[in-house]
């Protein structure tokens, strides 16, 4: 009999990947983006929480780290979108502690793997632990900076924090599924290079949107569009910058 936790993990992962790509295809701040975003957050928290639990029960260190980091990324991204201007809460401080502890443990495991006669720890080489550790500590640095400023403020700062953390959480899911779980694919579909496309697409979309947010003036030279459409797009962008993100 299939475990309910496994069903929750699989269904949450599939729903999260699909809803994540749908959310990124809609205009940021639109109602459609908000609905897809809510589905994405709930699905990803179910997927990562269930995955971390199963990995803990099976002593699968790498999967446990992936589950915890995904849960952290999606939670903090959602929190950034929901905060009022200059607002912080206990969740932000708890997330910081999780990131610091995770980063310290990952780096420690990486050092232990380097010193091990086998060159690994729990079956994983040092780079795996160091990559997780760097991601966690950089995220913690962002949390510290945000808390020191007194919260997330409206505008680019909030959008960037929300965007890159959501995209990284989605990337962990797509990479784990399309590259790490090909054993569930039909035999003739395993090992195809095409699976690298959906696996790394969240990273490419993240880079695109971060550049667009940071340097939005680069799009001034676009061909003129219908005035009504331009006005409506401008209003949507202004609402996205100046209100808490839906979901």
Q: What is the pLDDT of residues 88-130, one digit of tens each?
A: 889 999 999 999 999 999 999 999 999 999 999 988 999 999 9
Say if 115 falls within a structural domain. Answer: no
**Mean pLDDT, rounded, of the chain:** 85
Indicate if the pLDDT at residue 222 is higher than 90.
Answer: no
- What does R_g of the chain's alpha carbons equal in angstroms? 19
Distance CA 210, CA 195 (A): 24
Note whether 54 and 138 are within 8 A (CB): no
Are 165 and 146 contacting, i.e. CB atoms less than 8 angstroms apart?
Answer: no
On whether residue 106 sits in a domain, the answer given is no
Tell whether 70 is covered by a domain: yes
123, two tokens? 């079956």
Domain range for 199: 4-87+152-242
Does residue 233 surpass a pLDDT of 80?
Answer: no
Is residue 74 in a domain?
A: yes
The arithmetic mean of pLDDT across residues 174-199, rounded, is: 92
State the total domains in the chain. 1
Per-residue pLDDT at 156: 78
Whose tokens are 């924090």? That residue is 161
What is the C-alpha separation between 223 and 245, in angstroms, rounded?
29
Tell whether 195 is covered by a domain: yes
Q: Is residue 128 part of a domain?
A: no
Structural domain includes residue 125: no
Instruction: Establish if 112 belongs to a structural domain.
Output: no
Report how far residue 160's alpha carbon sits from residue 141's, in angstroms, rounded to the nearest whole number. 15
Question: Residue 219 pLDDT more than 50?
Answer: no
Which single residue is written with the structure tokens 């959602």? Answer: 78
- The structure's pTM equals 0.81
């Amino acid at each position: 009999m299939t475990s309910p936790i496994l069903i929750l993990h699989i269904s949450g992962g599939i729903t999260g990947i699909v809803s994540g790509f749908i959310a990124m295809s809609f205009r940021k701040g639109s109602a459609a983006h908000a609905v897809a975003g809510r589905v994405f957050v709930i699905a990803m928290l179910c997927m990562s929480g269930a995955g971390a639990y199963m990995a803990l029960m099976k002593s699968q260190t790498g999967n446990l780290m992936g589950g915890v980091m995904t849960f952290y990324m999606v939670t903090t991204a959602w929190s950034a979108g929901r905060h009022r201007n200059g607002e912080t809460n206990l969740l932000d401080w708890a997330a910081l502690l999780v990131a610091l502890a995770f980063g310290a443990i990952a780096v420690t495991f990486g050092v232990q793997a380097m010193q091990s006669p086998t060159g690994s720890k729990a079956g994983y080489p040092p780079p795996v632990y160091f990559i997780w550790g760097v991601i966690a500590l950089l995220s913690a640095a962002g949390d510290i900076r945000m808390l020191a400023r007194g919260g997330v403020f409206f505008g680019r700062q909030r959008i960037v924090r929300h965007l890159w953390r959501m995209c990284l959480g989605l990337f962990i899911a797509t990479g784990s599924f399309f590259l790490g779980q090909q054993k569930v694919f039909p035999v003739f579909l395993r090992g195809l290079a095409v699976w690298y496309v959906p696996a790394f697409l969240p990273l490419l979309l993240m880079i695109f949107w971060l550049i667009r947010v940071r340097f939005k003036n680069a799009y001034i030279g676009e061909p003129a569009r219908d005035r009504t459409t331009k006005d409506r797009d401008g209003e949507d962008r202004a609402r996205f910058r100046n209100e808490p993100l839906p979901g």
